[in-house]
Amino acid sequence: YTSSQSGITYESTNAAGCVHTETLNLTITESTAHTTVAEACDTYTWAAPLGNGQTYTASVSGITYESTNAAGCVHTETLNLTITESTAHTTVAEACDTYTWAAPLGNGQTYTASVSGITYESTNAVGCVHTETLNLTITESTAHTTIAEACDTYTWAAPLGNGQTYTASVSGITYESLNAAGCVHTETLNLTINETPDITNPGDQTACDSFTLPTILGTNLTGNEAYYDDSQLKGGQLILGPITTTQIVWIYDSTLLNNDGGKSELSSLGKPVNFCSDEESFMVTINNSTTSTEDITACDSYTWNEVAYTESGVYTFESENEVGCINTATLNLTINYSTTSTEDITACDSYTWNEATYTESGVYTFESENEVGCINTATLNLTINNSTTSTEDITACDSYTWNEVTYTESGVYTFESENEVGCINTATLNLTINNSTTSTEDITACDSYTWNEVVYIESGVYTFESENEVGCINTATLNLTINNGVTEFTDIICDDLFDINGDPVQSIDLNNYLSIAANDEGEWVSLDTSGRLITGSTFNVIDLENGIYNFTYTSSLGCVSNLSLEKDCIVFPCSTADDISKVVTANNDGVNDTFRVGSLAGDDGGCKYIVKIFNRWGKIVFESNDYKNNWGGYHNNSGLTMGTNNKLPTGTYYYIVNVIVPDGELLQPITGYIYLGTN
């Protein structure tokens, strides 16, 4: 069958030997075919499902590809392909000022500057893209203005000018030509025509002494016309004032041409090369007036040119000289007169006047020539006064001041002064100088020393003045060393029982209570039976009970001191059970170096201490409103002058300690004595 059928039957025998009737209903589907005729630019891809998916860059014909159609049969597609190509071109253009890139190949835009690589796409004759590239060179038209000045006429020369000749000034005249790039060049002419000056020569001139130059006359003068001392071609200089010597005078006027743009070239003489000018010259002859001077000195009067003069002065007389100018004669006249003078003189002892010596008062006269050559009669009214003398005998100690001069040696001295009549008084001093004396004594004593009825209890340098055998002062100096033991007092030794770290100590060195002056070469003796005094100065304080322990110390100089140590600790309300120091030995050995109040460990629970320390005379030597256990034997009272470097002397001092607890309550003051060893 080649076409569809329906109801076709066929009989046969089945397995049972019976008739089997088979009916055929047949559908016949046909294969298909088609031809694709295509055109493309540059490339073409034959797309599925009908095409083979390949890309073609050249024309082809009769290419087939089989696929399955909708009925499931073979579909044969035939490709007839025409490939056409895109095109490209470069336009290389040159233009003046502007360029319009015209369609259809250009974009229609107008350019005023050079460009390169500008592209524009359009459709070519075969319907593909055509790419046009523009490489453009814009050359510009040019313009320039010629600013020119000329004398009388000017020809505007080619190639930039029009070749015409002008006799009058013009402005804004233009002429077009082609420049080097082939574009239009427009030249503008601004022209100034200057008229050449014409100077009128005044002719030769003659004058006396000086000649004032007249106003310059002429036509077409510029206003810059002037007189010169030479031709401008020779570099003549400007004449600014009258002519005073015979010379040729030049008149010059010019109009400077700036046709080189305002930069006129200068000649070797310094004058402009480009100018419109006129120059004239004439002779000026100067004849001189004359003068004469005569100096005359006369007595009383003098006659000159038939005139009598009786007074000094400067007189003149004019006449005509040989060249017809004025001669001026000058007379410097001095008229001198006889003179008199009177002199009142007071002199001492004598007076010499005009080589004569006078010793008595009187009136004297003397004639001489005065300073102007005439007679001078001098009168002297003379008074003679006499000089005086005096003598003084003086005895003094060490020095004597006499008439503001101090003398330290015996001798005879004189001093001159004015007496009551204005003459010299000579005073004589017969002076005897006696000298003061000194003596020095070095003394070492125990506790005190009596010297010149004064008892001294402290080491120091003391002086005593008395009268020596010549009636002057004798100054005796005592260098006194007082060796002290320990001042008798009871020291509460709670602080001494602990080291600087707050740990208990085994023993106390009693020598720490000695002053330096007492030295430590003596002997300590215990006055009780505690048996705690070990070898030398060592005091055993292990498990020491409260109580008083007494000692005596005898120094190597025989000075005896008593020491009482008391263990009686004070417990402050806001600190651990510590005490107030009873002795301070500020020698930096770590023991008793400062006056301690409260806890050794500084654990005072917020207590504040106000401390005042007094000397034996009740003077405050130290005070602090917030004491920090830092007093080491110095004073901070600016009104005190005792000690050196604010260091107080060894001795017993009195203290008052006020305690303020954290809630602000002020407790009952704590008072007592403190022994200070600083020597």
Q: DSSP states of 35-69 as a string?
A: EEEEEEES-EE--TTTS---EESS-EEEEEEEEE-
pLDDT in tens, 419-449: 998 899 999 999 999 999 999 999 988 777 8
Higher per-residue confidence, 506 vs 572:
506
Joined together, the tokens standing for residue 90 give 């470069």
Residue 277 φ/ψ region, left for φ over 0, alpha for ψ in the -120 to 50 degree band, beta for the rest: beta
pLDDT score for 220: 87
| pLDDT band at 502; cut points 50, 70, 90 | low
> Can you give the length of the chain in residues?
679
Q: What average pLDDT does the structure give for the chain?
A: 85
d(CA 474, CA 458): 24
Query: DSSP label at 216?
Result: P
Measured at the alpha carbon of residue 119, what is the angle toward residues 114 and 123, in degrees to the nearest 5? Answer: 140
Question: What contacts 316, CB < 8 A, 6 or more positions away?
Answer: 328, 329, 330, 331
What is the Cα 663 distance to its own chain's centre? 58
Indicate the pTM of the whole model. Answer: 0.31
Burial of 258 (0-12, 13-18, 19+ CB in 10 A): middle
The span from the CA of 510 to the CA of 268, in Å, is 117
Name the residue type at position 458.
Answer: E
**Which pLDDT score is estimated for 498?**
60
Sheet of strand 424-434, all strands in order from the earlier edge strand to the far edge: 388-397, 424-434, 411-418
Q: Say whether pLDDT at 600 is over 70.
A: no
pLDDT in tens, 38-53: 999 999 999 999 999 9
Q: How far apart are CA 5 and CA 537, in angstroms?
A: 155
Query: Given the structure tokens 């400062």, which residue do they identify?
Result: 594
